Structure 1
């Protein structure tokens, strides 16, 4: 999660022309979200089997939020972008950055709780 947001996305927009970078990143998001959903679901199962209910619930929340991002929010951003709603797209993009950041923070907290 951290690599995609901190390294991959900025690098793509630095190294590729905008007309290539945008579609490339949009094509990467389903893979990114599928990985988060699968790994969070697996983590939730592991936490549940270990009797760590709070951690299991947090991991399941990661699954739910990521499904929402993938199924509803990402297509909504595409509609805004296609319609030329620059302000709406910027606001939506900013929200997606915050939501993805919150997911990353939650995943890091789970990782730290598991390590300690």
Structure 2
């Protein structure tokens, strides 16, 4: 059986965040929008305690290891900036990763209003 036990449906906030990240992501990102409705959150938990989540698409095996970023964003200001990206592997939407850029990686799911494209920071 390809689907491990313990997967759960995305919460409304997770679904909204994933959809928004894809809608505002790179040129490839929109091709993964329909997978959001088929995504389930796996039981994997990041050892650092951040809010990162991994996906499994219903009816598909777990994605292969590897990360192809579909949208990269910043959250916060000054010394409290962290990042978040949505990614795929092997054509399957694979998860949302939260990472540190000085402080701690986010331990909560941000609202879409808190996100700004990482590219904007590189231009500033």
Q: State the TM-score, normalizing by the size of structure 1.
A: 0.28
1 or 2 for the larger relative contact order (CA 8 Å, sep ≥6)?
Answer: 2
Between Structure 1 and Structure 2, the one with more helix by share is 1
Q: Which has the larger radius of gyration?
A: 1
The alignment's TM-score, normalised by the length of structure 2, stands at 0.27
